[in-house]
Structures are given as C-alpha cells and as structure tokens.
Structure 1
Amino acid sequence: MDAKLVEAISIQIREEYDSAFLYLAMLGWCTRKGYSGASHWLKIQVEEEFSHALKFYNYLSKNGEIAVILPHKQQPTEFDGFLQIFQATFKHEQFITSKINQLCKLADELNDKKTRQFLVWFEDEQVEEEENAQANLDLFKKFDNDFSKVDAEMAKRVLVSSEDKKK
C-alpha cells in the first residue's frame, strides 16, 4: 500500500477517535443537564465512532501495514446549549464526510482499487450519519424546541452493528 494512503488512513483513525471523544464530551454535558435521551443517543454515537476507527485500523493491519496512532485533540466540556450540540454534531459529520471524500480521492489518484472499494462502506455510512444528524435537528422543529420531547425521541435510538448494516 502506498505510504501516502497509510498516512491518510492513520489520520482518519485519529479523526474517528476525535469524533468519539467529541461525542463523549457532549454526552457528559447532556448527562449533567438531565437529557438522558440525548445522552443515550450520543453514547451509541460514541460506540459507532470507536468502531469506525477500529475498522480503519483493522484494514491497515490486514494489509500488512501499521497504523500510526496520532494524539487526539482536546475536546470541549462545555457547550452553548442543547440545540447547539446537535447543530455541532451535524457540522462535524459534514466535516468527517469531507475527510472520507479526500481519502476516496487519494485512493483513486493512487489507483488503489482495493482501498477504494473498502471506502465505499464509509461513504455510505457518512450519508447515514448526516441523515441521522439532520433528523435530530428536525426534531427541534417538529417539537417546536420542546427539549423534553426532543430528548424523549432521542432515547428511542438503537445501536445497529456494522455487521447488521451489511445486510
């Protein structure tokens, strides 16, 4: 595998861990503020982001490469409000989508068809991640910013494993 791609995937592993840590910080804020449904939703999101990092790590490992585990970014512990957390979640998922798109472009440039095929799963996942983040924002509109109703709706989220998503 080209060294540029190994480096880019290693950076993406850090991005996935940073996503998990960001959502963990948001989970802590929601828990402190009594938003148990949002805390539940974010806990599932944390688990998903960790699984994404491991999926990248395992891909490198299975291809005889060693991921460089880069230091993660310090995440905030305070947020401006309940709605703002989910606005930030949507914006963050758009950022991650741009990073996945950059990886796809690099794999194409390097004519690495195997890696490009591997990345299709992440492209699909990011469509879902952005849809989920938008759906949360839509809840605020649907319930006219009634945070208790939004929180109750978020409590209904169920973790779907990567294996189940393949089906």
Structure 2
Amino acid sequence: MVKKEVEQLINNLIQIEHVSSTLYLAMSAYMDRKNYTGMAKWLRIQSEEERRHMLTLIDYLAGKDGVVKLDAVPAQPSDFGTPLETFQKVLDHERYVTNAYRQAYDYIRPIDPQTAVIVQDFLREQIDEEAQSLTIVERLRLAGNNTSALLLLDQELGQRKGGAAAGPAPAPAG
C-alpha cells in the first residue's frame, strides 16, 4: 500500500499534467483558428505528450495500490494573443511544471526513493521541455512582425512528429 503523502503528491502531479494537456489543446485550437496550422500541430502533440505523462503517473499510482483522484480541470481561455504571447505562456507553464516536479522530488526523495526515481525521470525531461519552449520563444522574437518569418517558423513547427518516444517510459506496476 502506498503512503498517503506519496499518493497525494502523485495525484497533484497527475492534476498538473491533466491541466497541461488541456491548456495545450486549447492553445492548439486557438492557433488553428488563426491559421497557424504548424504551431497548432506542435501544441496538439504537446497536449498528447502531457496526457501520456498523466497516464504514466496514473498507472504508477494504481500499480502501487494507490487511489487515483482526477479533479476538475479549470476552463481554458479561447484567446492566447500573438504566436509569441502564446509560446511565452507555454514557456511560463513549463517553468511552473519544472518547479512542481523539483519540489515533489525534494519532498519525496527521503520518504520513498522508488517514487523519487519516477519523479526524477519527469524532472529530467523538463530540461528538454523548457529548452524547446525557450527556443521557440526566442525565434518568434527574432521573427517579430515579419509575416514570412512567422509562416516559415509555423511550417517548421508543423514538422514535429508525435509518438510514444516522448516522455519517460511507463513505470512498471507494483
């Protein structure tokens, strides 16, 4: 049986990933509506990746005989501003997620080293999540209001491939 504080911590991380998935899906719909189809695709894949993270955490907690609690997800905005403003929100959110995993790791490490390894895997992945987001923000800043540059960047982001390779491997049950 999993300790209550571990169960609560994993449920908090599940909620963060659930909100992240919904946020990026809302951003994807917004960018699609603005005809930035490549950015929309990138954000849709990001949403799917966050959902896989959530499912990995759910499977881990359930495999330890923990109780999974899925709370309501707040409504997301339908307008995120310019592409730069949208991806700045992505970067800010990824930094928030990194901080949440860092705090979770610091808390859980002395209590449950096995769970700490799982949390550390997600924390390690956040390095790449933040770096990708920062690169996109910096490139959007360089593009400024240049329509050609924005469309080129949109096309480039549309080349992103989705798939099971993104994110830590699913945790074994037990």
The verdict on a shared fold, with TM-score over 0.5 as the criterion, is: yes
**Aligned residue for 2:172?**
none
2:81 matched to 1:107?
A: no
User: Which shifted more, 93-102 or 130-139?
Assistant: 130-139
1:117 pairs with 2:117: yes
Structure 1: gaps of 5 or more residues? none
Question: How many Å separate the matches in 1 of 2:58 and 2:165?
Answer: 15
Residue identity matched to 1:114? Q
Q: Distance in 2 between matches of 1:97 and 1:164?
A: 14
SS at match of 1:156: coil
Quote the Cα distance in structure 1 between the aligned partners of 2:99 and 2:82.
26
- Counterpart in the other structure of 2:133: 133
| The 10-residue stretch of structure 1 (53-62 or 75-84) with the greater mean CA deviation from structure 2 | 75-84
- Distance in 2, Cα, partners of 1:32 & 1:19: 20
Amino acid at match of 2:124: D
Identify the residue that residue 62 of structure 1 maps to in structure 2: 63
1:143–1:149 contact (8 Å) kept in structure 2: no
Contact 1:11 1:70 in 2 (8 A): no
Q: CA deviation at 1:70?
A: 1.2
- Distance of aligned partners of 1:27 and 1:120 in 2 relative to their CA distance in 1, 3 Å threshold: same
Map Cα deviations across residues 18-37 of structure 1 (whole Å, 9 max, x no partner).
00111011011101100010
Kindly provide the CA deviation profile for residues 79-135 of structure 1, in whole angstroms up to 9, marking residues without a partner as x.
Answer: 22111000000000000001111110121242x110011112101111111011112
Within the candidate set 154, 157, 161, 2:160 is matched to: 157
Q: Does structure 2 conserve the Cα–Cα contact (< 8 Å) formed by 1:5 and 1:106?
A: no
Contact 2:32-2:40 at 8 Å conserved across structures: yes
User: What is the CA-CA distance between 1:159 and the residue it aligns to?
Assistant: 1.7
Retained in 2: the 8 A contact 1:97–1:123?
yes
Residue 9 (structure 1) aligned with residue 7 (structure 2): no
Task: Tell me the distance in 2 between the aligned counterparts of 1:120 and 1:7.
Answer: 17
TM-fit CA distance, 1:138: 2.5
CA contact (8 A) 1:13 1:56 kept: yes
What is the CA distance between 1:163 and its match in structure 2? 7.3
In the alignment, the residues of structure 2 paired with residue 59 and residue 165 of structure 1 have an alpha-carbon distance, to the nearest angstrom, of: 12
Q: Aligned pairs, how many?
A: 165
CA root-mean-square deviation: 1.7
Counting only pairs closer than 5 Å after superposition, residues 43-54 of structure 1 correspond to structure 2 as: 43-54=44-55
Q: Which has the higher helix share?
A: 1
Matched position secondary structure for 2:109: helix
Q: Structure 2 length normalisation: TM-score?
A: 0.88
Once structures 1 and 2 are overlaid, which stretch shifts more, 82-91 or 100-109?
A: 100-109
- Give the Cα separation in 1 of the matches to 2:116 and 2:168: 19
